[in-house]
Structure formats: structure tokens, C-alpha cells
């Protein structure tokens, strides 16, 4: 099953490359699903274009891992972040200022963006579609929706794909330091925002 999904993912990414050329970009927060996606992308894409958000509050392990992978995989990585003077308001406003708005601005030159969104990550993502139009009118592509956590980890083990050391410490979903804890249930994102919500606003308007 994983082999079949892997073959299909490579074919899909090749289609995206040919369809959108330089008007498509990958987004990642460097979690394990994103590593599966980027490992497939680099096999069909030269200098994979990547946007990543540095909120100024990421784990140091995340930033170090991303910069190391940037060099190892020859990614065309662009870090983006909050505008000058961004303050630290309540969590939803903080996510909006530090993550959502910077991403929307950075996506302006592109027609489409690719993420490692999966149905089994959270209940807020179970109705996601592979091709959707986001709130800014950009095409959001999610070719890994049907992949499960178990399938991702099998692919990682079988192909020696590097992952953040934080995953080895038990973190399943990794974001900013103040809002990331160990999971409190089987839900992959239950450790985010002290379990009060599951989304920052990029993939869903629902918290």
C-alpha cells in the first residue's frame, strides 16, 4: 500500500510541476509528514521551492534541522516571518500575525501551494480536498490526504528520511515553543495550544 501511494505521490507532484512550473511552491513546518512530501518532491523536482514560516518562537531544534536539510537536499528554501513590531496577543491573534498573514503575503507571486495535510491529523481536516481554493484565491494542493501516520513512518523508516529530534521525544505535531506540548490523547494535534484548539488558521478557519 505504501509503495502504491508513494508511486502515485511522485506522479502527482510531477503533474503539479508541469502544470504550474515556477508558480507553485511547497510549504512546511518540518514535521514528519512534510519530510515525506519533500523527499518525494526532490526526486521529481530540481531545487524544490519551499516556504517556511519562522515565527520567531520556533524550537531551536526545528530551525537547525530545517537549515541542515536545506543544504543536504539542495532546497530552494525561503524563510518568512512576522512583520516588524508584531506583538504577542492572545493565541488566535498571535497565529494570525505570525503565521497566517506572512504566508498570504509570501504566496502572492504564486498560483498554487502544496502542503502535507492529512485526513487523520485532526477532525478539522477530515473534510479537506486535494485541490481547494484558499481564502486568498490561491490553489491549495494536498496530495497526501489519504496517507496515515503509520504509512508516513513506514516510508520514513524504509527510506531513511531524516526527521526532527523532537519527534523522538514524543512530539507528534510541532509548532511554536509556547503552544506545543506532548500529545494528551491519540489525536496527533492534541498537544497544540494546550488542547484548546487544533488549527492556527492557515488550513482552516475553524480553531
pLDDT at 162 over 80: yes
Q: Which of 94, 95, 152, 200 is catalytic?
A: 200
Mean pLDDT of all residues belonging to the chain: 85
Domain 2-170 part of CATH 3.40.50.620: yes
Asked if 183 and 174 count as a contact pair (C-beta separation under 8 A), the reply is no
CA distance 15 to 96: 32
- By mean pLDDT, which of 8-12, 84-88, 91-95, 144-148 is the weakest? 84-88
Task: Say whether 176 is catalytic.
Answer: no
- pLDDT tens figures, 175-201: 777 777 787 776 776 656 565 655 654
| Alpha-helical regions (H) of the chain | 2-20, 32-41, 60-72, 91-95, 101-106, 149-159, 165-168
Could you give the dihedral angle defined by the CA atoms of residues 111, 30, 53 and 122, in that order, rounded to the nearest 10 degrees? 80
CA distance 148 to 191: 18
pLDDT at 84 over 50: no
CA distance 142 to 132: 8
Is 97 in a helix, a strand, or coil?
helix
Output the pLDDT for position 85.
46
Task: Evaluate if pTM is beyond 0.95.
Answer: no
Amino acid at each position: 500500500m505504501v509503495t502504491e501511494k508513494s508511486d502515485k505521490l511522485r506522479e502527482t507532484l510531477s503533474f503539479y510541476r508541469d502544470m504550474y512550473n515556477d508558480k507553485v511552491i511547497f510549504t512546511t513546518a518540518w514535521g514528519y509528514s512534510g519530510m515525506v512530501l519533500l523527499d518525494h518532491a526532490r526526486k521529481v523536482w530540481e531545487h524544490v521551492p519551499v516556504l517556511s514560516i519562522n515565527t520567531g518562537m520556533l524550537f531551536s531544534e526545528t530551525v537547525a534541522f530545517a537549515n541542515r536539510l536545506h543544504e543536504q537536499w539542495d532546497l530552494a528554501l525561503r524563510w518568512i516571518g512576522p512583520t516588524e513590531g508584531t506583538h504577542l496577543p492572545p493565541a488566535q491573534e498571535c497565529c494570525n500575525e505570525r503565521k497566517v498573514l506572512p504566508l498570504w503575503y509570501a504566496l502572492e507571486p504564486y498560483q498554487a501551494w502544496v502542503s502535507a495535510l492529512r485526513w487523520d491529523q485532526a477532525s478539522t481536516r477530515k473534510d479537506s480536498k486535494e485541490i481547494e481554493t484558499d481564502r486568498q484565491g490561491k490553489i491549495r494542493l494536498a496530495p497526501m490526504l489519504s496517507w496515515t501516520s503509520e504509512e508516513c513512518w513506514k516510508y520514513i523508516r524504509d527510506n531513511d528520511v531524516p526527521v526532527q529530534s523532537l519527534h523522538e521525544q514524543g512530539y507528534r505535531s510541532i509548532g511554536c515553543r509556547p503552544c506545543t506540548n506532548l500529545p494528551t490523547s491519540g489525536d496527533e494535534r492534541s498537544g497544540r495550544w494546550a488542547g484548546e484548539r487544533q488549527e492556527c488558521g492557515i488550513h482552516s478557519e475553524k480553531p
